[in-house]
Amino acid sequence: MDKSVIPKGDYCYTIDHVDMKEGKIYTKNCPYYDCTEINDISVPTCKYLGKMGVPDCSDEDFQKLISFYGNSDAVHEAMPLSLLFDSCKSCGENIE
């Protein structure tokens, strides 16, 4: 794994550019930030750490994860990166 490609700062992305005309901010995700499909739920994943985070999802979708893993504790054990859903960096690399 090449930690030099991980964005600087506290998040799993950097600002690529801002289009003032459109009023939009465009970002570039860390190459190790991904999503894994589990029981039809998109789960944020850090490939650098090889770990997942609980997604920001509806109660119904969380029930699908419970159904897959067996119980709520098992979901949280399988997905220990609690803020990854919000692209908050968990790896600790290149934090300024």
Q: Residues 77-92: pLDDT tens digits? A: 999 999 999 999 999 9
Instruction: Confirm whether 27 is domain-assigned.
Output: yes
Domain hosting 48: range is: 3-86
Instruction: Confirm whether 43 is domain-assigned.
Output: yes
Cβ–Cβ < 8 Å for 12, 87? yes
Per the structure, how many domains does the chain have? 1
The per-residue pLDDT for 57 is 95
What global pTM score does this model have?
Answer: 0.87
Instruction: Confirm whether 7 is domain-assigned.
Output: yes
Which residues in 42-54 are b (16+ Cβ under 10 Å) and which e?
A: ebbbbebbebbbb
